Amino acid sequence: MAEAERSELEERLGYTFKERDLLRRALSHRSRTPEASNERLEFLGDAVLTFVVTAALFDHSDLDEGEMTKVRVSLVNRASLVEVARSIDVGAAVRLGSGEEQAGGRRKASILADTMEAILGALYLDGGLDEARRVILLHWEPLIADRITSPGEHDYKTRLQEVLARTGRYPEYSVRAGGPEHARVFTASVGDGESELGHGMGTSKKRAEQEAARRALLMVPDDVNA
């Protein structure tokens, strides 16, 4: 992978690595470098992400222990890792073996999530906890803010992410607003990049997306839900 490509990833990530080999290793899938893959960095990155999210929930919410646990589970999982990985286009930078490349590995949820964890682990080693926290919050804070507002509600969007991720898919939402300014109605649709899965309406963008996700879950085949 060219140096310019790594720099583009760093720009989207919001951090520049001092030790270039750490980033290179974080992006190296076992199909490319079995003896020097990113698996150990994944383990570290998972722990760092869990700590930072837990501390953020403790510091910036008044949720009780049970609620914090539920919110943390919805934030530290494959679905959120894939969401962030896609937002910074990790797939374009990951280093794959030829077989995995031909199998569409750059789009696989498992590879994207694992690589994102490895990047966080490498970031912690390169810049320390303060920089790791800054970058994690840069990308996870919107998700945290969304989750802590309704920890007891059904989070259909997260559930749909998790279900689709099992087959390497990812939900894509589109929302439009209508009606007078004082009584806006939002209509959302969600698909997987190939077909529409559900649509919904609500008095806010969030509610419309949740309703679309709820309806989409009814359409997902039973074998995927299993």
Residue 155 DSSP code: -
Q: Which of 42, 46, 114, 155 is an active site residue?
A: 46
- Across the strands, what pairs with 190? 173, 198
Residue listed under structure tokens 């074998």: 223
CB 120 within 8 A of CB 68: no
Q: Could you give the CA distance from residue 22 to residue 29 in angstroms, rounded to a whole number?
A: 13
Which of 30, 60, 26, 61 is closest to 45 using CA atoms?
26
Q: What tokens were used for 131?
A: 């920089």
Q: Which of 42, 83, 100, 117 is an active site residue?
A: 117
Q: Is 194 a catalytic residue?
A: no
Q: What tokens were used for 26?
A: 């974080």
Q: Is 100 a catalytic residue?
A: no
Looking at the annotation, which residues are catalytic?
46, 117
